Chain A
Amino acid sequence: MNGVKNLTKKALFLPIFCMILVLLINLAKSPTFFSVAIQNGVLYGRLIDILNRGSEIAILAVGQTLVVAVSAGTDISVGSVMSLSACGCCMMLAGYGVNSATQLAVPMIVGMLFGVLLGGVSGAFNGTLVAKLKIQPMVATLILYTAARAIGLLLCDNQITYIRYEPYKYLGNFLPGFPVPTAILVTIAVVAVVSLLLKRTALGLYVQSVGINSRAARISGINSDQICFLCYLLCGLCAGIAGIVASSRIYSADSNNIGLNYELDAILAVALGGNSLAGGKFNMAGSIIGAYTIQAITTTLLAMGVSTDQAPVIKAVIVVLIVVVQAPVFKAWMSRRSARRLALASAATEQGKGMPVK
């Protein structure tokens, strides 16, 4: 009993609990849910699909977590920045004005790095507005939310640029001869780099200090503005990487659709992870679990035959449930309830003792 109590006190308990719940519902619906098979030399299965498809949200959630923590605001431009980065990458690879390339204009890595760089520049732009000019995060990032997609379209000469070059598809699918989807590897790499930053440097402490009380952090010798800027920069870089992955999946830069509404999933992932959107303390692992929970819900609904148009409704219901379960008010209510039940139970046994035994 005590062990259970301690377990429920852990910060990550609820995010993990919700995730498991979603997975169990899946299992009940389709018993083969957890089965992972190798077909055509690659891993295959619902679970793998969730991990694979959830990559972009997970990568975005990493950056978003830092932004939320440091500035108590959200970067709503990440979806559009994904699109910008994809367009930049494809434009470099195909050459400006070419709408379908079978041969690359520059080495593939150069194009991809350019895409990620565009993400970084976007992040730096947001960071400057928020950290130096003290514009509210949502307003500051609203600029690129609307503009980045359009800039991407400009880069691609107002058309969808296709890269019909086999290796370009590797990132969104599989590396030849390797069974794990490449996107999962990218996510692991991003998470590993950021975790290393948080573990080995004082970045985590700085971000939380600035997020909780930036004035006090500054007096204590932390360059609050710089840390805030850095978080937005990292968030932009994450969006850039996610954009390249998304582009590789469809081997093109579809400016209107890549990353559409992803900023909302990214923010939701942070919240589902048990992080306060009011900034301050954060839990990176929670956000990542949150990201995959969202993807699990989406995949499940689609697999259960819910049409793409209706899926958001059911998704909304589930999300509301998860958020309510995690809300402090609800938790307090639950603990009061169980306390009352315990009191009733002990009162009942007291009475039982008083009764004559026949």
Chain B
Amino acid sequence: MGQTTPERARLAGFLLRRLAAAESEAISDELFRDEQLLRELEDVERDLLDAYADGSLSDADRHDVDVHLMTSDSQREKLRFAFALGQTSRQHRFSRMGLAAAAVVLIAAAGGAFRIARLSSQNQRLQTEMAELRARNAHDENAAAVAYLLSPIDRGSAAETLDIAAGVTLIHLNLAVESSTGNTAEVRLKTAAGQILLEQRGVPLETIQGTRYLSVWLPSGALPDGSYTVSAVDETGRNWNFAFRTIRRK
């Protein structure tokens, strides 16, 4: 379920029937006197059901939700809504973003410089843009993509300056995450003003010559001159922050 306060964890324990009998009975008694307590439990239950719907509950928690909370049609209706809301929200969010939000894209071109790995079906604009770039690159002897290596700023590195030549159509960011022991990470790229340009989950970590990297591809047009920050969190909870600014050569 993620981070929570001790009180909310206690109430979740009550809902999932994990508290000691005396404590559970005390809360149950209070429930019949205090309507505010019921509202707090409803709030905790909502978080449990949202976590269930987005797949982030542990197997044990999911089992206990099934057994102790899905006990009537009205209870199952709450979970059904959580599934629907989570899925619909994610679909709407992805379709409104100007860039790919759910996949890493590598493009195959003449000379084998790139390859297509996976493309989100939820972002039609990206599909169109990448398809056009792929068609162009297929006949272009000069690489239209440029790779940059970024080191975390909280490891002592300063913000990088990415010098982008005219004609570059794809930017490949390699984020160094040396100490990660995870397999995937969530990556978020923002402008200096805090606007989220890119949000990807499940980005695979790659190891190249002993160094761990996350790869993010973006159409060059997505990064006009300016400053940007990137944050990455792997599934063990470790996080890294990067910063760069882009300057385009005319």
Asked if chains A and B come from one complex, the reply is no
